[in-house]
Structure 1
């Protein structure tokens, strides 16, 4: 977290493991990603993705996903296979339908506005009071709105 802006700033480390700031927060919960089908395309060129929480920079090969509520987000090429599997007839690494894998996350329900600096050091997400600050355990953090959290995660502890 940083006090450089008027709202708390959480920085993705880019290193495997969970953030101690999040793991030590007394509001922290463990949750599991529910299996959901999404659309994925892989960008051949650098581009930006307009997510609900902010503009995210994507590199060639990164996956640009569209969720069940029409929301968009980016997953790096390096992390995509750890989080999604192709739904036949989609071939791994090609655009098409994918199913999320049930991986564990840590999340904190936030009581004030906040920002997340992604591991690329450029992309910033903005969260509001009530949004979830999510730690994916791979050095990346995210912002998830309550309705999306409720339909894509199951609190397990």
Structure 2
């Protein structure tokens, strides 16, 4: 999809309550920031779907990633279900580097923190690129939207793992 209309966007995001629960404060903060940033600026349009804006419910059900898309008024648009398999390695790597980052923040030098953070961003970008590729032909998103969605998928997966 080459051009996108202003209505090709998300206006609400719900993380499935059964998939997610209370997490560490760092994770809760990242989740809140990702949702706020995503709602502020995003590009999201199901291919061959009606015009937006859209609501999205993200869930992990039976080890599958679920994108349940509805119209602004709540009318169902389409449900997309993806295997988590292709994302598992990146999710695992991301969780490991996040643990290292949070440890570094507590007691490492600024240079060490910056190095770990650079690695964390690299793995996050890799996951975002893979997610964007997996959505191709199903949901049109830009890279920044894919990054924020990847953060939310990490929050869901952390809880369901």
Larger Rg: 2
Give 1 or 2: higher strand fraction: 1
Q: Is TM more than 0.5 here? A: no
- Scaled by the length of structure 1, the TM-score of the pair is 0.28
